[in-house]
Amino acid sequence: MPQTAASAAREILTGLHDLMASRGSTQAKLDKVVDIIAEAMKSEVCSIYVLRDNALELYATHGLNKGAVHVTRLRMGEGLVGTIAEQGLILNLDEASSHPQYAYRPETGEEDFHSFAGIPIVRREEPIGVLTVQHEDTRRYEDVEIEALQTVAMVLSELLASAGIADGTRGRARDTGAQTLVGLKLVAGMAKGAAVFHQPKVTVEHTVAEDTEAERARVYAAFRKMRDQIDHMTREAEFGVAGEHEEVLETYKMFAYDEGWARRINEAIDSGLTAEAAIERVQQRTRARMQEIDDPLLAERMHDLEDLSNRLMRIVAGRFGTAAQQGLKEDTILIARNLGPAELLDYDRRRLKGVILQEGSLTAHVTIVARAMGVPVVGRIDDIRHIASEGDPILVDGDQGSIVVRPSRAVTHTFDQRMATSQKRRAEFAAIRNKPAETTDGKRVTLMVNAGLSEDVAQLDIVGAEGIGLFRTEFQFLVAATLPGRESQLKLYKEVLDAAGDKPVVFRTLDIGGDKALPYLQDVKDEAENPAMGWRALRLSLDRQALMKAQARALLEAAGGRHLKVMFPMVSEPWEYEEARALFEEQVEWLRKKKRMLPTVTEYGCMLEVPSLAEMLDILLPRLDFLSIGTNDLTQFLFAADRAEPRLAERYDWLSPAILRFLRRIAVQAKEADVPVRVCGEMGGRPLEALALIGIGIENFSITPAAVGPIKAMVRSLDAGEAKKELDRLLAKPPRDLRKTLLAWAKRHDVVLG
Ligand code: PEP
Ligand code: MG
């Protein structure tokens, strides 16, 4: 046997190269392959088993009885070969028959051979066959021999795949059993579909290199590009866009520059593999090592290396697109580490049924967008990439925050029944659609919806909402490939007003920046360390007046002859509101001069998202037509806790005395000034939170459409006067766990919480 694994494999691969390209039947090729391997390994036996109809069939052999070919079949898990395939492990035995799994097959004549090595042949991480060698004498195979056999097994996987003779290469991958995983509930609802990876994995098509030096050059170039990308991401702190986390980036960086990794890929190329196959080969080896590791921290690191390895593979293969660009072919459960809102909006809404994120948090914009789309999301399923394969059936339960990968028939059946029940509940909500949101003691609550795309307007009637309390105009910018001009803005705003008919629509001016970066606006791409507190929303609009003027004109013209309501996001000091309002009023004058039709009434309002504004309400309120509290941003600033940081996702509760007291102060002041106040953050769409908000004097809500039914049901079962008393009591002397106490109170008072 040659000295190194690379030279050992190279000898075999050189022999296989011409054979792979030659014509001839697969059977003839495999018959030749076993001869080549046996000769190079100086082994008495070399056999190839192929997974066909759920059994491993002896397909070609050098050394065993030829009569056993296509006759000897082992089930998954049966005998040494079945164990290797089922568990994806390598066996290296000096005495095969003493292994507990050994199953004697007399037709093969294998009793003459003592030592045995078997390697799984894997395609798309699924076993499709087994390669074995046997010797008469009792000996263990050396590491270099095993390594060489693994490389050869990769080439065989290509050969079997192109011939389409193995199970996994013909149809759906092997079922590896159901797995239930619990994560973080991000968007409620239930969905089922097939797994699709946002960043698809590349399947290696060609394993044997034509020109080793050319392959080496490709890998070097890919390494350079990958390192540039990682450096760029770290420098630009582009976390919001790509979704990569700071810590992950640090690890990425460490691996990207790891000489050991590059060297191992280089060695795999030396053995005659293509660049793609070499990366995959090293990845397989890492994966195998990972299974032996017990340290969760180290295992986590290894996952990061795998991510990076996939990235390197995509660069080498020139596959940069996401699954959205390739189009969804069936009902889909999308899997990603994280997503930007624009990336999610790229997907076909008819086919996208659910989303699973490795990271994710409750008020990140991608979550809000998914909620608006009615797509259930479960977050913080760290392991998903390693448990699910492309195409696996998956159930997503956004109500419980869990998922099931490859569910059994019984589990699917129960899930279907629960889905039907939740549809029934939706029907119950539909039944109160035209009834008022009025408490049992006669207090009227206004329920409006948050929207961002013209399709969302249809939801108004479906759920029975009273208007759009927050139209996020930046969504149009997020889904566009280039900056939407005034004309296309005008068209959208008109469509929205037309579709809303008599119902009011509150347009919020652009809130870009933060985690809503626009790829086509270089300087609006946030490069700050803390983009949520950075140059975003109104701050950016006031500095970029051309952008705001275009939007103001589009809004004013779209609302010609109708009522216009405008509000400004992220106002931190009253002068910002004044300046923004003045800009709109200038445009009114300009349009008047041009004799364009103007809105009959224009109302101006403010978002209260930055705590500093709460201190200035005495000055600001007299100038406002309405105030809208954005609890997503407000609470992140109150607690100094990033809304997109998964580790803080569950740390601070909206039902905390600090938040509720703060909001109550605003509600009281606004009421005294006779300015309507509304809550338009995600908080208002949760029944118990909405109960608390009513208890502190909030009567207007703008929420995600799917929440209108549940919130209306809650309101109609609530005595607002009693709720106020309870909240006064709780906020005067807060209990340790306000949520728990309030929940118990709601239950005692038969409040419907969904
Ligand atoms: C908010 O901050 O609560 C809000 C409604 O605005 P957005 O979620 O779009 O930042
Ligand atoms: Mg906000």
For residue range 135-182, what is the model confidence (pLDDT) as tens digits?
Answer: 999 888 988 889 889 999 999 998 898 888 887 665 444 446 889 999
pLDDT at position 569 is: 97
Ligand 1 atom at shortest distance from the alpha carbon of 682: 3
pLDDT at position 303 is: 66
pLDDT at position 173 is: 43
The torsion of the CA quartet 318, 324, 330, 336, rounded to 10 degrees, works out to 90
The torsion of the CA quartet 524, 530, 533, 534, rounded to 10 degrees, works out to -30
Nearest ligand, measured from the Cα of 680: 1
CATH C-level class of 438-748? alpha beta
Ligand 1 atom at shortest distance from the alpha carbon of 365: 8
Rg from Cα positions in the chain: 31
Residues 6+ apart with CB under 8 A from 265: 219, 278, 279, 282
Nearest CA to ligand 1 atom 4: 630
Domains in the chain: boundaries: 5-163, 179-416, 438-748
Nearest ligand, measured from the Cα of 364: 1
Token readout for 193 is 């579909």
CA of 602 to the centre of ligand 2 (A): 22
pLDDT at position 325 is: 80
Residues 6+ apart with CB under 8 A from 345: 369, 373, 453, 475, 478, 479
Ligand 1 atom at shortest distance from the alpha carbon of 450: 5
Token readout for 415 is 């899930």
Residues with CB under 6 A from ligand 1: 368, 470, 472, 511, 609, 630-633, 680-681
User: What residues in the chain have per-residue pLDDT under 50?
Assistant: 2, 171-175, 237-245
**Of 361, 365, 368, best ligand 1 pocket probe by most atoms within 8 Å of the beta carbon:** 368
DSSP H or E segment with residue 472:
strand 468-472
Question: Do 463 and 708 meet the contact criterion of CB atoms below 8 Å apart?
Answer: yes
**Of 629, 632, 682, 693, best ligand 1 pocket probe by most atoms within 8 Å of the beta carbon:** 632
Half-sphere exposure of residue 65: CA atoms within 13 angstroms, side-chain side: 12
Of the candidates 125, 82, 122, the residue with the CA atom closest to the CA atom of residue 391? 125
Of the candidates 736, 662, 653, 728, the residue with the CA atom closest to the CA atom of residue 695? 728
The torsion of the CA quartet 380, 386, 387, 388, rounded to 10 degrees, works out to 90
Residues 6+ apart with CB under 8 A from 659: 631, 635, 638
- Give the Cα separation of 531 and 322 in Å (integer): 25
Token readout for 244 is 């990569």
Of the candidates 260, 262, 236, 263, the residue with the CA atom closest to the CA atom of residue 249? 236
5-163 is classed CATH 1.10.150.530: no
Ligand 1 atom at shortest distance from the alpha carbon of 472: 9
What is the Cα 711 distance to its own chain's centre?
28
What is the Cα 604 distance to its own chain's centre?
37
For residue range 661-719, what is the model confidence (pLDDT) as tens digits?
Answer: 999 999 999 999 999 999 999 999 999 999 999 999 999 999 998 899 999 999 999 99
Q: Using DSSP bridges, classify how beta strands 700-703 and 446-451 pair: parallel, antiparallel or unpaired.
A: parallel
- Give the Cα separation of 247 and 300 in Å (integer): 11
pLDDT at position 746 is: 98
**Of 609, 628, 666, 677, best ligand 1 pocket probe by most atoms within 8 Å of the beta carbon:** 609
3-state secondary structure labels for all residues of 573-626: CHHHHHHHHHHHHHHHHHHHHCCCCCCCEEEEEEEECCHHHHHHHHHHHHHCCE
- Can you give the pTM of this predicted structure? 0.62
- Give the Cα separation of 626 and 567 in Å (integer): 9
Nearest ligand, measured from the Cα of 451: 1
Tell me which DSSP letter residue 303 carries.
Answer: H
What are the residues facing 700 on neighbouring strands?
A: 446, 678
Of the candidates 361, 399, 365, the residue with the CA atom closest to the CA atom of residue 380? 361
Say which CATH topology domain 179-416 has.
Enzyme I; Chain A, domain 2 (1.10.274)
SS3 333: strand
pLDDT at position 127 is: 87
